[in-house]
Structure 1
Amino acid sequence: MIDTEETAAAAVQSWLDRLYESNAGFRVKAVADGGQVWRAVTGKPGTHLGEFCAQVDKVTGVVQAGFVPQIGPSARDGYSRMMRTTVVPELRRLGFTGSGRRFTLQTGKYLGTIEFQQSQGNTWMGVRFTANVSAASSSGWTARLGSLSHHGCDHWWSVWAGFPNDDVAADLITAIRDHAVPAIKGERNPPDVPTADLNVASLGQRMRDAVSHGLHRRRSRNGPRP
């Protein structure tokens, strides 16, 4: 009896290793309840989407290559619904304004944006997406959300047609709430962006102002160019 997602994933992984040999690198990417069977998306880690699907009979444990008909909500539908019903309301609660792909957080002297970006290769079966975070501060910076929240790595999230996405939404919200927002507010440093020294920043501005003033005086003295 295959009665949990974990045992279904293990059965599919064992099937993959026998079919392609373990060094081929195929892994189970997602598992969902399909009634009498468990459905699974498989592929190589780091690839854009799953190479193919498989299904596991809950009673016999037999694994077969599966075909997913394009019936019902697509992955794009699932992504849109996840953003509309779960992610955007949380962004509002955190103080963000905006709509669509771009949201802005204005808090005191800090101004930051989060802009969601989908992969160009998305299909009916799968949607892969990430987010770019930027802050308007004395140092000014832009970073991928994954580099803030996933150990400095460029992380992309995936939504699959017919598969639950609660875990995806929860991980995305955690990344924004616990990592992006503190970085925008200056409570932590974004990757590869040094802490801004206000005295140094002020000195730099004074130097730029002095150069600009000198150029203006020189042009005034020499008259307009022909």
Structure 2
Amino acid sequence: MTDAALYGGHRDQNVWRRDMVPQVGDEIIVSCESASDVRVTTAQEVLSGAIRTGVSPELRKLGFTGSGQVFELVNPDVWLLLGIQKATGGSASQLRFTLNVAAVPKDKWQEMIDAGARYPARPSPNKVYGKWAWWARIGELMPGGQDFWWTITDETVPDELARKVVSACANYALPALQEQLQVN
């Protein structure tokens, strides 16, 4: 029987190779811990958990739809968007993110597409399109008006993080979007 027949596929695929199987006499190091002692939590898992179990449900109570990293206050005339933007250069043990808010008139959006702009069907809250579309980072809306990024580590408590994010959304992002609705 060939290696391909034994291990499924071609030997060149390196899916499973005979030389990968430990042989008698090979040193094998095994570390055993109970499942309760094993902790596999990354900063991304903390952020995902905070969004899934805290941020998303609370934003829905405030009138937003969506999940993941993009939320919308549904309006027939204006896209009222909230987006979570992660910074580049994060690692498993630490990442940074901020919130972006945008108000984009739907008629102007369609006008830009009709004029040849290569825009998606719906705008992203994490991208600036032009002066005709309002956009801000959450820090600009908060007292002091400075850019603001949350830093998450593998030690960050998801529930506490979710409370802080929802508070910023309720106190700064939502009023700013409602104000933009009056402008548009």
The TM tier, using the shorter chain, reads: 0.5 to 0.7
What are structure 2's unaligned runs of at least 5 residues? 1-37, 109-131
Question: In the alignment, which residue of structure 1 is the partner of 2:57?
Answer: 89
More strand by share: 1
Deviation sequence 1:15-65 (CA, Å, 0-9, x none): xxxxxxxxxxxxxxxxxxxxxxxxxxxxxxxxxxxxxxxxxxxxxxxxxxx
Do the aligned residues in 1 keep the contact of 2:49 with 2:158 (CA within 8 Å)?
no
Please state if 1:181 is matched with 2:174. Answer: yes
Deviation sequence 1:94-140 (CA, Å, 0-9, x none): 11112222111025765410111111111111121111100135964
Do the aligned residues in 1 keep the contact of 2:138 with 2:168 (CA within 8 Å)?
yes
Do the aligned residues in 2 keep the contact of 1:107 with 1:185 (CA within 8 Å)?
no
Shift of residue 170 of structure 1? 1.7
Q: Larger deviation: 154-163 or 109-118?
A: 109-118
Structure-2 separation of matches of 1:185 and 1:107: 11
Structure-2 separation of matches of 1:116 and 1:163: 17
Do the aligned residues in 2 keep the contact of 1:158 with 1:168 (CA within 8 Å)?
no
Matches within 5 A, 1:206-217: none
Return the TM-score normalized by structure 1: 0.48
What are structure 1's unaligned runs of at least 5 residues? 1-69, 189-194, 199-226
Do the aligned residues in 1 keep the contact of 2:44 with 2:95 (CA within 8 Å)?
yes
Matches within 5 A, 1:73-222: 73-107=41-75, 111-136=79-104, 140-186=133-179, 196=183
Structure-2 separation of matches of 1:158 and 1:150: 19
Structure-2 separation of matches of 1:74 and 1:91: 24
Aligned residues: 122
Structure-2 separation of matches of 1:163 and 1:127: 11
Return the TM-score normalized by structure 2: 0.58
What code does the residue aligned with 1:120 have? T
Could you tell me the percent identity over the aligned residues? 34
Shift of residue 90 of structure 1? 0.8
Structure-1 separation of matches of 2:156 and 2:178: 35
